[in-house]
A and B are shown apart, each in its own frame.
Chain A
Amino acid sequence: MSGFLTVYWRWLQDRRLSTIVWIAGIAVIVVATAAFYPTLSHASGSSLNVSGGAINSLLGLGQGIDPKSPLGYLWIGLYANVYPWMLMALGVVLGVAAIAGDEDTGGLEYLLARPVTRSTVALARFAGMVTILALVAAASGLSLVICLPVFDLNESVKTTAASGTVTTSPGATIGDIFNGTFSAFAVGLGLAGVAFLLGAATGRKALALGVATVLGVGGYVLYTLSNSTDKLKPLTWISPWRWYVADAMLIKGLTWNVALPFVLAALSLLVGWWAFLRRDLQAA
């Protein structure tokens, strides 16, 4: 496919600075979250008194998750909400930029005036989107791995219940961080794929950005509300949060559900590509 690597590398180069900023920003949040762990774990008598399915889902607390354990702390402080949100936001930005963003400025037309096919551009841009998202996820996951021994997150913790039962929670391992980071990356990739599809199919940046954002936020709201009322539960299959929070892969390990966003992204690529080949480009 002539020009694929040229378009791919150029797209990455054009986003070099913003990628560094995203990596630095997420790493700062990851490190700051990890840095608070020693303070929390050494606090005595404090406990999270939560009740209600909606609150639990907001915090990402599921059955058997101890918020004072290293993994429980990382889950409710980072992986159940902030971290996937950041990757989803980045995914939407990249997915929209891949086709619609460039088309909005007229840059895409100029590129397609060269001997490069629409297929090449769509595939190279999609690959670039996945690369940047993976880089940011990998870098932030790596920064957390480095933080584990620094902030005692790799040490097991013993907790004594009111009944006197002593429970030992294991410290976080590199494998745990990989599982959590990979599942959050998957969520971000799924929404990035939807944003790509909308941009490739319509060429309208505002529409792609708006609809993808509504889907991301709406899925979260839907999942959260579904924990308060059973009436909404049948609809939650469209929300990635249903399996992401319920499976809590940081703690419980990877499940096959992690493949769902990859399938969604692949389908989005196929449909978006198909539509992009057949439509008129939008005038800048």
Chain B
Amino acid sequence: MDAVIETNDLTKIWGDVTAVSDLSLRVTAEECYAFLGRNGSGKSTTARMLLDFIRPTRGRARVLGGSGRDPAIRARVGYLPGDLNLPRAMTGAAAIDYFGALQGGGHEAEAASLVERFGLDPGRPVRELSTGNRRKVGLVLAFMSRPELLILDEPTSGLDPVLQEEFRKLLAERKAAGASIWLTSHVMAEVERVADRVGLIRDGMLVSELSMDELRRQAADRIRFSFPGSVDPASLAGAANVTAASVDDGAVTVTVNGPVTDVLRRAAELGATAVETERRELDDIFLELFDTGGQHP
């Protein structure tokens, strides 16, 4: 499968600060890749190198088989920055005309459809728009040329839940139509619904790449055992399919990925008096991955 984004040892260093370090990743056609990391981890720096706003200290980034420096490549990319800044007096309609003309024109019908879909008033100047409405303008501008690749930085930030849902539908439609997507987000529920794969970046380094299926498998059950006396968690950690064990307030909590027969048997042998189960949310998985530097707990 062709790569729409491919980086090899991509590195950006400013003085003593290494913003991105030896980043090698590959996003294939028609894939939705979520690039996740905490603030300042290097997500935006990576996006800025993809679009040639900044140049790598070393390494290489290729977009749609070429360089982001090439206008012909950028003509095939839709971009939504984390913070969209347009001239304050510019109306949404003027922005659509201006950026549409730069994209080669002929996007009026698509833009009108998106304006209606997101309920945007295109006649109002940017200075009068709320954060959410400015976001709508950005979404219309990013999607109106039906780009082959969408680079979206926190796309639903500032949108109300109804519009977030509308955005996800739009993303799914474009993906079904063959578009590829590279996005950053802090909304894990959104990532879970739209992404095929996630890449976790920490301190500028790609620490883990997982498919959503792999992630979901990690959202395994947690079982909390209560005992009449103190129990060493290591005695349960060795049970089959247990990926983690910890002691808290006299109880032992284990994370199980797979059949629980063995751990239940061991707990019974140790005299467990109560058993509680809980299903972890994806947020918890991400937090654990960030805490452990991408090493699966």
Contacts and interface: CB of A to CB of B under 8 A. Distances in A.
B81 interface: yes
Name, among A3, A10, A111, A284, the residue most crowded by chain B CB atoms within 10 Å (CB to CB). Answer: A10
For the side of the interface on B, what is the size category?
20 to 34
A116 B103 CA distance: 9
A2 interface: yes
Given A6-B101, A14-B90, A117 B71 contact: yes
B90 A106 contact: no
B48 A281 contact: yes
A166 interface: no
A111 B99 CA distance: 8
Contacts of A114: 71, 74-75, 99, 102-103
Given A3-B102, A6-B101, A112 B51 contact: yes
B84 A110 contact: yes
Nearest to A7: B102
A43 interface: no
Contacts of B85: 105-107, 110, 284
A283 B42 CA distance: 13
Nearest to A16: B89
Contacts of A110: 79, 81, 84-86
Given A17-B89, A107-B86, A110-B86, A115 B104 contact: yes
B72 interface: yes
B15 interface: no
Given A3-B101, A114-B99, A114-B102, 6 more contacts: A6-B98, A109-B48, A112-B51, A114-B103, A115-B103, A280-B53
Interface in B63-106: 71-72, 74-75, 77, 79, 81, 83-87, 89-90, 98-99, 101-104
A105 B88 CA distance: 11
Given A106-B81, A107-B87, A284-B85, A113 B98 contact: no
29 contacts: A6-B101, A7-B102, A14-B87, A14-B90, A105-B85, A106-B81, A106-B83, A107-B85, A109-B51, A110-B79, A110-B84, A111-B102, A112-B51, A112-B52, A113-B51, A113-B77, A113-B79, A114-B71, A114-B74, A114-B75, A114-B102, A114-B103, A115-B74, A115-B75, A115-B102, A115-B104, A280-B54, A281-B48, A281-B54
Interface in A242-284: 280-281, 283-284
B55 interface: yes
Interface in A1-56: 2-3, 6-7, 10, 14, 17
A274 B98 CA distance: 26
Nearest to B52: A112
A14 B103 contact: no
A114 B75 CA distance: 6
B83 A284 contact: yes
Contact of B102 (A6, A280, A284): A6
Interface string A110-141: 11111111000000000000000000000000
Contacts of A112: 51-53
Contacts of A115: 71-72, 74-75, 102-104
Contacts, number: 65
A107 B87 CA distance: 8
For the side of the interface on A, what is the size category?
20 to 34
A17 B53 CA distance: 30
Contacts of B53: 109, 112-113, 280-281
A14 B51 contact: no
A280 B71 contact: no
Interface string B10-54: 000000000000000000000000000000000010001001111
A14 B85 CA distance: 14
Contacts of B75: 114-115
A110 B55 CA distance: 16
Contacts of A284: 83, 85
Closest A-B pairs by Cβ, 8 of them: A115-B75, A115-B71, A280-B54, A113-B79, A114-B102, A106-B85, A105-B85, A281-B53
Nearest to B141: A110
Nearest to A277: B69
B133 to A, nearest CB: 17
B100 to A, nearest CB: 10
A106 B71 CA distance: 19
A107 B89 CA distance: 13
A129 B71 CA distance: 24
Nearest to A11: B87
A116 B48 contact: no
A114 B83 CA distance: 16
Contacts of B48: 109, 281, 283
A17 B90 CA distance: 12
Contacts of A280: 53-55
Contacts of B89: 14, 17
